[in-house]
A and B are shown apart, each in its own frame.
Chain A
Amino acid sequence: MNRRPPVIVVARIAHAIFFLAVSAYCFLAYTPFAYRQFIKPGVVPAISEFVNLSPALFCLVVLISVFTLLPFMQRPNRRISVVAYAVTMAAVGLWAIVRPALAGIADSPRSLLIGLLALAPPIWLAAIDHRVTPAPPVEPIDERRALTASFLAGLLGWATYAVAVPFRIRQTVGIDLSPPAWALALGSSLVADVLVFAAIFLVVQIAVGAARFTRAPARVEYWLLIAALSASLAIVLYGLVCASMAFTGPDAAAASAAIGLAVSAVWAGIGRLRAARDGAQPLDALALFFAPVVGRGVQTRLRTMILVGALPVLAYVLAGAVAHFDWNFLIQKLGVLVVWLLAYAVTHAGTRAYGPRRGGIPVLAAPLVALGLFAGVGASLAAVAPRLPPGLNPQFVLDRFAAVDPSFRLIRDARTVRSGDTARFYAYLKAHTFVSPGGAPRADIDFAQPLTASPGPKPLIFLFIVDSLRRDYVSVYNPAATFTPEIAKLASDSFVFERAFTRYAGTAMAVPSIWAGGMLMHELEHRRFAGRNSLMKLLTADGYQVVMTIDHIAKELVTRGPRLTEMDPQLGTMQVDLCRTVDELAAMLDADQARRPMFVYTLSQNAHIANAASRKLEPGESYPGFFPPVASSIRRLDGCVGRFVEFLKRSRLYDRSIIILTSDHGDSLGEEGRWGHAYFMFPEVMRIPLIIHVPHEMRTRVSADLARVAFSTDITPTLYALLGHDARDLGSLFGSPLFVAPGTDLSARRREPLLLASSYGPVYGMLRQNGRVLYTADAVDAREDAFDLGRSGPGTRLALTAEMTATNRRLIRDQLSALAALNHVTLP
């Protein structure tokens, strides 16, 4: 049989990628969290386009695959399997055209079923390839060659990311290590990489050992390696990918196992296609395993060097391409695993062969040395750590290094292990996250009861929330942010709250909490929200006409009716643009001349990284010290704010208006390598700007404490107070008025520990000492951190002590329990 043309291999890869993408989309849709936060609001337009094109793509990849199988129709004993595949896929293709499967799926069991079924075609095609393509001759693994390749791969894997560190530092904020610290970090990383590949070599040795019990050890070795690949993929997907999407349990395990099986089947199929050659020399089982990457092996030293040199470039480009859109380094970590696999394949192909079974027990000495080295280095660092200066503390140094080396980050995050108490604490956090909406209705939130219309004329109220707007990208908080002069002008005539925070690190909970005026049970759906919608109750009682953009989150919170006017109804969630909104508002106000009191709400996406990252800068536009696309987006937004304020002044509405400019949460823009906002909680995500302009006659009647911790959940009770209602004190889990009668004691909150939460995972925080200290407990990545927020900037990490950990855990438990009790929810 002749060697298969490369185009057939490419066709198989395209076929596999398509069906894996379909399967991944279905599993994402099945997960309530991913469906509501990514798919339903269309955060990633490419996903929507893929769904629309999927019937056509299905037909294309299936047609190509059938075409590649046509030569085998001539052989009777192979014809049946080819025909069965072609007929079945044709029927499915017709069905896909008539009733596109992906278009209507939601978070239902149907999605899981389609996702699992979508993995059948690539497995089937791989099975056909194994049937129609003669197996290449295989001999037992050359153990000495495998050992040499493993250690070289460890070195290559380390070097691949180490060489990129100087480049990645330039893109990362807050990493400042001394030369000895870099040496410590790089050395630790090298030892860890070598241990990882020593462990991989031991897996190969286990396959060798198990195969010895069989009659065809070479073939068994190969299939055990394929099985190990399948199992490893399943574990990685379940532990890394599914966990970060809050997709857990038997369904997640089944999905992970199915994808692992499909990928390893495709891998084996492509390996067979690439390795098959008439009259060729036998390959050892490990060489056959790597055939999908290197075919029958790299022939020349030059080719090896080229591949070795290309690997760091590939790794750097891969990491850079996804950094801004990654989900807490998830895609980068998966990229590391791909690079490691390639490194092992390239080094194995470039290592000379010693002959089958050359090794024996002595080859195990090398992994033993690697283990000893790893344990020895770890023990030495632990022993000297107390005597080292803070800048050389190993934990401090390695945490910083993980920000610029994705492979070390993967290793570091995989190393975490929990004590019994820690495991119980994280289980407690998980139990209080994404709580099922069933059971007793959630408690109503009432800042005033009875709530009747307050006397007197009502001001206009504008609540402008800019999604992901960071505090330090607004000049009134950071003089270096010179691109917000209009907001600075507004701020000069407003109250600027210096220590404003969001209670929630993501929109899904932050926005409902603003409307409620306090913390809520952590759930994906907010059913029967009217009883908790304190803001809407106030607006209804005081006869406000509500004018707002309605995104996929606001849709759950408000009920359409005659008192509600929707702005820009045709826009998707991610398209809400403050500039467009204020233009529409100005036209509306011109027409209405404020006959009725009007409340305006918008959640604009100008600064959201999904939009801002692709913004093109004008020639000459530069923002040193800032992420330019986001800074440019904010500059544009600032101009629109200024334009609207000028309009209000011209219309003599400015001094009849309450204007609130804030954000639902901040964002990571390169701090320690982080980008965006996922389930994590860090200072730059929790700090927000909060600027409130009130009419002059109100200013003279109130006082405020601008340096006391303020929350976005204070906005609603503040409006109660400004409109003349006595807002009750509902406790520290709820907001309180930011403006009070002169002489009112506001100091209590300076002393209280205050609960914070992630919107997208079991991650909670404690804000203490009037917002100077932030403690976070992350049950997804099993990490706890503390930060000194006293100075501006990204916050300084604090060394955790046992007392700090125990105290903050107790506080988090107490407040979560109190929140559950308030809402009549019983949880473990």
Chain B
Amino acid sequence: MSGPAHPVDDLAAHAVGALTADEAGSVEAHIARCGVCRAAFADHLATLAALTGDSPPPDGLWHRIEARLDSTAGSTLAPPPVPLLPPAAAPARRADAPAPPVGWDGSARRPGAAAPPVDGGAPARWSRRRGRRGGRAWPAARLAAAAVLVVAVGATLARLAAPDGTPTVAEGAESALEDPDATVTRLDDPASGAPAARFVVTPEGDAYVMLDDLAPLPAERTYQLWRTETTTPISLGVLGPGRARAAEVHVPPGRARLVISQEPAGGSPAPTGPLVAAGTVG
């Protein structure tokens, strides 16, 4: 039995979820071979998604999602990514819009839908870690007893030792320090000027902080890395209490003022504790 060339009513009914499974299957089969209806269907879904807009999820939802992703260990006390509100929109028309979206670091952010696509070929900078496998980074991060980097703007999950032989942070840091083309920057105690830590980055973009003269902290405290050349400090992640003497970090390319502060375990949204090391990189 043949139907209309473009089953527009069924398309709309399917978009709102009002078809039975069989009927939906028929529409999906049509969508798979019809670009016109595929586009129309995408438009319907976009329209429907706009009806409910955005609302702040409950605190802790992200932690609970994290916890479900990996069953081997509890979630780290990581500052969660703060969801953006509202979606990108023509600002002039949004008279009823809530305040502009704010990212974790307090700076204005725009969600991916409005972000410029990565142009041309490669992203700004990435590297293949020596010997790193292309597996899930998530479980590896859970095995941390040592330095853990929280998921915060400008930071990434720690690439820590996994039982499968992926290089440890310590090994990666050692390689970086041995790399003649790597750049090492001293981070000194702001008060005394004495050396406190080092920041090392290889040409491939692997970067580490060596906690040389920063003493290990009690378990309820941690070191946290920030960039501060902007007006609001941006967290680059938690470095841990310092039992591990190296932490992997990701610092965006370009000039950056880096400082290390002492914070409560899990980190803080803004520096609260003493600044123990500072330097300028890039």
Q: Please indicate whether A and B come from the same complex rather than being unrelated chains.
A: no
